[in-house]
Structure 1
Amino acid sequence: MKLVLQNIGLISHSEIMLDGITLIVGNNSTGKSTIGRALYLHSASLYGISQYIEDDRQKTILQEMNKRGETLDLILKELSGAKRRRKVSEAEMLRKIASAQLSRCTVEDSRDIEKILHTYLIGHAKLYGVKLSEALEKPKENRYQEWLSVSINRILAILEPGDDLIGKRRVSMKLDRYFSGQIIRVKRRTTSENDVEDSESSYIEVVSDDATSNRISFERNKKAGKDVCSSVLQSFTIEHPAVYIENPRVLDKLPSRLNWNKTDILDELLSPNVDSFSVSQPYNIDSYNNYIINFYINRFITDSLSEKQEPITMDSMASEESATATQQEQYEANLKILESALDKIVCGHLVMQGPKGAQFSQNDLERNIEISSLSTGIKAMSLLRFALEKGCIQKGSVLILDEPEINLHPEWQIEYAKIIVQMQALFDLRIVITTHSPYFMQAIEYSTKIQHTNSKYHCYLAEYASGRSRISCVDDFPSLGYKKLIESFSKLESMKNSIQNEDGVT
């Protein structure tokens, strides 16, 4: 797999291999983190995008159906003299069922749309004890026929925008979150006559192993004062959401509630800028209703539509295939290996129990430790273990680690590097790591050789000059990467020599 960046952040153009472990070294503000965030933006935008588009349409249609339902209430009350319908919840259920079906239609499915709305109209009227004719041909039913005609036109208007428009909006929303609406490379204020600026095109492209590619392109929206998505071209699906570990202190959020589902963990703990967003509500009150809606849709209503209509679900996330027993056994076996290695380093592990939720159980202590009291190093190890335990890291997943060595003693940096390499081998991961540590860099390189995965190890050097970042592969010249990381030692040596000279020491 290969990541291609064109005019992204400080990077004018770069192609980065994503075979196994990709290590990126360099000074601050050279575009290292941009690479990881761009890769994450690609995954977060395209993972489950088909389901997102369907859910977005369904939500919009449901909002319209609520308005049309209120209008229908007024008509029924006026013509039947009824004061109220039997149960508000029954009318709400009918609207949700109709909305779920309508969201699967297109503007070409006008006959199906009419059938769905007609079925809803008949059902809603029954709640008032009103029995309408199938053709709505009676003189007193003109108002209902008019309601049906207006409703059909409004649903068609909602279905008019293509999938690409909704997809671009989703990418733009993610762009606001992870790049603050600024992703296109900014040109320098002044350029010499000899400077050749790059083309205006700006995109993130991921090329799969079979040469198919996904490309997200961007443009500037001067009116809005930010960058937006201009097009999305997708040729392969994203099987698993990417995991981004940036700040171990997000582990402090764990005790905020007892139950964490996989979606919340990925969104609130394992993504960029997670410390800038509040914890979402722990429980979706519509989950049970959605289950009931699915049952009624697939049991009683879908048969009346065209054969091309597939069974409908109300899930808010793209569902993953259930793991087989063999796959689950393999995962758990690999998980135990990594959990044991992590627990050995930190001498303990997280426990989810009691009214306080998550705490840390240290092997030689009788009482558990509050998460907020843990050292940042233990939090870093525990966050990775938590991600594994909750199934956020699956076989073939993309894992992005932004300076994982921060707050770790050199000895722990080496141990952490060994675990990362072992984890990549066990789960066939694609891992992107940025680092400033020569200890960590060398530990990664040596560990890949020990694990015999060095053929999937790539090292890149990020450098900044003339208003742009240059990302160079240094696989054949690893000393260039080390040199960049150990330059600070030569400065310390110069300081030492200066002190010795001042003291007259030879």
Structure 2
Amino acid sequence: MEGVAVRLHINNIGGLSDADIVIEGVTIIAGENNVGKSTIGKSVYAFLNNMDTWRETYEKQCQTNIVRYLNSKNTVLEDLCMSLSGAIRRRTNKVQAMTNGFALQESFVVSVEDYQAAENETERESAVARLHKFFWEYCRSYMELYLKQSTERVMAENTKDIESWISDTISGLNSVELDELAMQKNMLNQSFQSIFQKQFRKINSDKSRISFQDDKGREVYMEWDDVSERISAPLRVSQQVHFIESPKIYDFLSDVRYGHVQKEYLRYLMAPNVFKKKEAFYTKRDVSEAFSDMEDVSEEVREVINKLTEIMGGRAEFFQKVGLEFKDKNIKEPIHAVNVSTGLKSIALLEYALRIGTVKRGDILVLDEPEINLHPEWQKEYARALVLLQKSFDLKFIITTHSPYFIRSIECFSDLNDIMDCLNVYKITQNNKGNVVENLSYSEYGMTELYGDLSAPLDELEELLSDKYGIEEQQI
């Protein structure tokens, strides 16, 4: 995706009626409060989150669905085995392990899918024949867990019952969900429901829609109406998307329980509504590998990390007994997370995410008003870091902001680093038709007007003071 734009089109999501957003480098979403700035970043996250690992998710879900189905069918087979063997105790754990292993066979899953997708009798008979062989072996393995005598002889004597079970099991396979499109649709629907707290559709709209066009020009859209939802094709995305809602996640990251899985835990925290998350953090990562990549940083991004460290006068480091501490080069004792300023946390969090590998080349990073706790000087340096990261690490940034200092800094550094072609600035305003999204990058006076709008409150204050002191001077 390096150097290539992707596009997101939003219709009737949140407070937005229509928005066409280009993501190719640094994308700025500016505007007043409560006009839908955050809706764009949340929509990107809801649509693309975890899609980089979709293939693994899909395969695991297929296996889970097959195992669940087989477990529902195992009762008849188990009762038969208990009756034939005279066993007193059921071999529940061994049966489950065998069933799980059976569902992992790729050739079996493919045969089930072929059975479901058969378009004529010939294809169906071929799939049934293959499935029959699988299930005959499944029955054999099942019976071997219970029978001490010859399994072959017992199966031959009970062929009618076994064939009946196999026939019934095959005929019910159409109920096992293996349709990738259906699974992804459900996953995306749940994602939008979760991110927007079940209010992602624009109020009083008949239909909501979001479409994503990747770097190859392939477009995938999902739409909702009052009755159902549909997706046009499976998403194929390779990059991760992260969302920094607040620098306060620095405090959560300091939890000593997650010192061995900082990379995964930080990714878990880099999400919308993170402080309201109900699902617990969980990872299967091997603890022995946890610290092997803490300093594994490419040379191209090390320069940016060093610059951030220089700005901060130190960096965040994790200590097993106390958690995440800030090591100031001028202070001997590390500073506890609760005592680190919010502005410092903003920069320290970005540097730490890069250093431990949570954020990788080509990822999309959504920053929700990152300048809020930063002094104008640090806003400038933070903007410089973002531009350098975009240029050297191909990160895609979506930034919501209403700071003219921050926007101007990004604009200047983009120009100085020759990436103006990758900068897109959008302004959201309200009118009687709803919220209007305009790309100012192609407007002759758009940026000038934007700076004027964002600076207007200061001008109004100057006018108030001018009115006061102007009147006093006249009275004198």
Bin of the TM-score, shorter chain as denominator length: 0.7 to 0.9
Q: State the alpha-carbon separation in 1 of the partners of residues 133 and 332 from structure 2.
A: 66
Amino acid of the structure 1 residue aligned with 2:242: V
Give 1:14's aligned amino acid: A
Residue 466 of structure 1 corresponds to 432
Counterpart of 1:208 in structure 2 is 214
- In structure 2, which of residues 66, 78, 103 is the aligned counterpart of residue 99 of structure 1? 103
In the alignment, which of 351, 356, 364 is matched to residue 390 of structure 1?
356
Whether contact under 8 Å (1:250, 1:269) holds in the other structure is yes
**Which residue is equivalent to 1:178?**
195
**Structure 1 residue 480: deviation in Å?**
1.5
Give the unaligned 5+ runs of structure 1: 188-198, 222-227, 289-322
Match of 1:362 in 2: 328
Answer yes or no: is the 8 Å Cα contact 1:136–1:142 preserved in 2: no
- 2:225 is aligned with what amino acid? E
Deviation of residue 70 (structure 1)? Answer: 4.5
Structure 2 residue 37 is the aligned partner of structure 1 residue 32:
yes
* 8 Å contact kept, 1:45–1:170: no
- The match for 1:403 among 362, 369, 372 is 369
Among candidates 263, 286, 310, match of residue 344 of structure 1: 310
Q: Deviations over 1:81-122 (max 9, x none)?
A: 12236x654333211111223544312443343333322221
1:423 to 377, 389, 394: 389
Distance 2:360 2:166 in 1: 48
**CA-CA distance at 1:174 after TM superposition:** 0.1
Aligned to 1:298: none
Percent of aligned pairs sharing the same letter: 24
Question: Where does residue 122 of structure 2 map in the other structure?
Answer: none
Aligned residues, how many? 444
1:491 aligns with one of 437, 456, 460: 460
Separation of aligned partners in 1, 2:86 and 2:169: 23
What amino acid is aligned across from residue 495 of structure 1 in structure 2?
L
Q: What residue is the counterpart of 2:236 in the other structure?
A: 237
3-state secondary structure, aligned to 1:220: coil
Structure 1 length-normalised TM: 0.80
Structure 2 contact 253–266 (Cα < 8 Å) conserved: no
Q: Which moved more, 1:417-426 or 1:375-384?
A: 375-384
Given that 1:178 and 1:272 are in contact with CA atoms closer than 8 Å, whether structure 2 keeps it comes out as: yes
Residues 76-225 of structure 1 correspond to what in structure 2 (within 5 A)? Answer: 76-84=81-89, 88-101=92-105, 102-104=108-110, 105-106=112-113, 107=116, 108=118, 109-130=127-148, 131-133=150-152, 136-138=155-157, 140-159=158-177, 162-187=179-204, 200-221=206-227
CA contact (8 A) 1:362 1:369 kept: yes
TM-score (norm 2): 0.85
Q: As a proportion of its length, which structure holds more helix?
A: 2
Give the whole-Å Cα distance in 2 for the aligned partners of 1:19 and 1:283.
31
CA change 1:116–1:363 in 2 (3 A) is: farther
Contact 1:45 1:171 in 2 (8 A): no
Letter in 2 for 1:96: N
Instruction: Spell out, residue by residue over 1:160-204, the C-alpha distance to the aligned partner (whole angstroms, 9 max, x if none).
Output: x632222211111001111222233334xxxxxxxxxxx954321
Structure-2 separation of matches of 1:499 and 1:110: 89
Counterpart of 1:78 in structure 2: which amino acid?
Answer: S
The CA RMSD over aligned residues, in Å, is: 2.8
Could you tell me how far apart the structure 1 residues matched to 2:340 and 2:40 are? Answer: 30
- Cα distance per residue 1:334-355 (max 9 Å; x no partner): 2311221111122222222222
- The CA deviation at 1:279 is 6.5
Q: Which amino acid aligns with 1:94?
A: M
Partner letter of residue 13 of structure 1?
Answer: D
Contact 1:207 1:213 in 2 (8 A): yes
CA contact (8 A) 2:47 2:191 kept: no
Contact 2:13 2:209 in 1 (8 A): yes
Structure 1 stretches of at least 4 aligned residues deviating more than 4 Å after TM superposition: 261-264, 501-506
SS at match of 1:448: helix
Name structure 2 gaps, 5 residues minimum.
1-5, 119-126, 288-292
CA distance in 2 between counterparts of 1:386 and 1:74 reads: 57
Shift of 1:374: 1.7
**Could you tell me which amino acid in structure 1 is paired with residue 252 of structure 2?**
K
Contact map agreement 1:98 1:117 (CA 8 A) in 2: no
CA contact (8 A) 2:264 2:283 kept: no
Q: d(CA) in 1 for partners of 2:365 and 2:270?
A: 10
In structure 1, what is the Cα distance between the partners aligned to 2:185 and 2:37? 26
Distance change (3 Å), C-alpha of 1:493 and 1:110: farther
